[in-house]
Structure 1
Amino acid sequence: MSSTSSGEMVYVEHTAGVHGLPKIILREVRGCSAEVYLYGAQVTSWKNEHGEELLFLSSKAIFKPPKAIRGGIPICFPQFGIQGSLEQHGFARNRFWIVDPDPPPFPTITSNKAFVDLILQCSEEDVKIWPHRFEFRLRITLGPGGDLMLTSRIRNTSTDGKLLAFTFAYHTYFAVTDVSEVRVEGLETLDYLDNLKNRERFTEQGDAITFEAEVDKIYLSTPTKIAIIDHERKRTFVLRKDGLPDAVVWNPWDKKAKAIPDLGDADYKHMLCVEAACVEKPIVLKPGEEWKGRQELSAVPSSYCSGQLDPQKALQSE
């Protein structure tokens, strides 16, 4: 637990991370923590009060710009995937953000002291490859109970009347014990686009999503809560979201994992991406308009019911 010489708790610490890249550590009294790199405004670590890592970070993650960091919570903006003119997942994840010197008032719980406000403003280089002007503000908060909250505010700052259209995702990599023993609840019976089948549209069958092969799906019109149940660790992640109607579920499995240079061959077993997103229908802002998209993550012990993990308690709890 970090503290000052007077014994006061240090909730926000600015330090250097891998290869000297600037990093911010958020801490709460109970011992939970989160680490955020200014490169990509990317959360790379989220630990509970027992020091257990809740986010997956690749064993081969490259912390060298312009390469994106593999793991944690990459920010996909202004383009998700390869559907558009930009590099895959856009450029926000491989730009250096700055600490916002004058953040707007965020509706937040006043007891939260472990938070940081970051800002990305379009550079002239960005405008050359994507001719739009914007301001992207991001608040990352670690709650007293260990919940991790990301709130994005994106404003169209155009002065020439141009609309701002973009897609977006919090590309969260959850750390799991064995992905073949994981279930996802909350996406049953929903329509999805299958990226492995040219984005063809299907309807999800069954009562839960389980994993036994590569998956890359965009679920549409999803609920505001999704549960990811790690059967072996008896842990349930609860993802709550606002302003993000879609949910992406991704795991590369063994063959594709071997083809990804910055992912260990066996890493796929210990990760699952469940991403709060807006992909199918781009967000469109008029000049001066602002969009807000929020994600809150929590990790709770799973309970048993008739020998099965019971996520309903997590899904129904507020």
Structure 2
Amino acid sequence: MPVDLVKDAAGWDILVLRESRGASAVIYLYGGQVTSWKNGQGDELLFMSSRGTHKSSKTMRGGIPICFPQVGNLGPSEIQGLARCRFWTIDSNPPPPPLNGIKTYADLLLKPTDDDLKTWPYNFELRLRVALGISSLTLTTRVRNIDKSKTFSFNFALQTYLSVSDISEVRIEGLETSDYFDNLRNKERRTEQGDALTFDGEIDRVYLSTPTKIAIIDHEKKRTLVLKKEGFPDAGKVKAC
């Protein structure tokens, strides 16, 4: 597979995926976090904050952070960044290759430490596959309960930061008639009325029962990104500032 394990300028382990027609992706073993996704023309499709950090006690802001076993304040706050603040390993026994013919992919694995089990006493195995296509990036996850004598519930999110032009030139289609909590109005529940979401100021919303596909249209860049999901039935977050 066209995947290289290298170190970044600061000495951190990263996986670099390269698709034969020019697309690429970068995954940090710290956090299992995708920090770059470029198309065949070399355009960066993800956003990374200039204030991002690689300190072992901090998370990186941008890319595609993995939120597990909770999202936001939906559980004990001390475990919010468990998956994002741990070093993942390369999966030595990965599942079979993707069925869609994609040949560029990497599999990572996360298991709890002894200290993690003191905070959240459930033994789990979290797998992540990142598959890079000509014009697609697919993240597939699987959570396995190791201790069958205990059941547990969890929240999970792939918190994707997309790179766009001037936010006033961006619109999101597919959220019409969806209910949402408005975090700028004390989590008031509302319903999306327009046929597209546009931005003329700060927005921080959690949409409920979102559709399986939405489109982010960037008029200035003349580019449309389509986000698809499977197995995430209940919510989706839109934030711009």
Q: Same fold (TM over 0.5)?
A: yes
Name the residue aligned to 1:39: 30
Name the residue aligned to 1:116: 106
Name the residue aligned to 1:238: 226
For residue 213 of structure 1, report the CA deviation from its aligned partner.
Answer: 2.0
Q: In the alignment, is the contact (CA less than 8 A) between 2:130 and 2:137 conserved in 1?
A: yes
Q: Does 1:215 align with 2:203?
A: yes
Segments of structure 1 that go 5 or more residues without pairing to the other structure are 1-9, 254-318
- Measured in 2, the distance between the counterparts of 1:182 and 1:16 equals 35
Q: In the alignment, is the contact (CA less than 8 A) between 1:187 and 1:222 conserved in 2?
A: yes
**TM-score, normalisation: structure 2:** 0.95
For residue 88 of structure 1, report the CA deviation from its aligned partner.
Answer: 7.4
Q: Does 1:136 align with 2:131?
A: no
Residue identity opposite 1:140 in structure 2: V
Q: In the alignment, is the contact (CA less than 8 A) between 1:86 and 1:129 conserved in 2?
A: no
Residues 83/198 of structure 1: CA separation in 2 closer, same or farther (3 Å cut): farther
Find the partner of 1:151 among 140, 159, 163.
140
**TM-score, normalisation: structure 1:** 0.72
Q: Which string of whole-angstrom CA distances, capped at 9 and with x for unpartnered residues, describes residues 37-70 of structure 1?
A: 0001100000011111010011221111121111
Q: In the alignment, is the contact (CA less than 8 A) between 1:28 and 1:146 conserved in 2?
A: no
Q: Would you say how many aligned residue pairs link Structure 1 and Structure 2?
A: 240
Residues 197/163 of structure 1: CA separation in 2 closer, same or farther (3 Å cut): farther
Segments of structure 2 that go 5 or more residues without pairing to the other structure are none
Name the residue aligned to 1:291: none
Q: In the alignment, is the contact (CA less than 8 A) between 2:174 and 2:195 conserved in 1?
A: no
Q: In the alignment, is the contact (CA less than 8 A) between 1:40 and 1:74 conserved in 2?
A: yes
Q: Does 1:203 align with 2:206?
A: no
Residues 48/107 of structure 1: CA separation in 2 closer, same or farther (3 Å cut): closer
- Report which of the two structures shows the higher radius of gyration computed on alpha carbons: 1
For residue 212 of structure 1, report the CA deviation from its aligned partner.
Answer: 1.8
For residue 90 of structure 1, report the CA deviation from its aligned partner.
Answer: 3.0
Q: In the alignment, is the contact (CA less than 8 A) between 2:69 and 2:80 conserved in 1?
A: yes
- Measured in 2, the distance between the counterparts of 1:48 and 1:137 equals 25
- Measured in 2, the distance between the counterparts of 1:229 and 1:142 equals 21
- Measured in 2, the distance between the counterparts of 1:18 and 1:162 equals 42
Name the residue aligned to 1:176: 164
Q: In the alignment, is the contact (CA less than 8 A) between 1:80 and 1:88 conserved in 2?
A: no
Instruction: After superposing the two structures, state which structure 1 stretch, 195-204 or 94-103, moved more.
Output: 195-204
Name the residue aligned to 1:72: 63
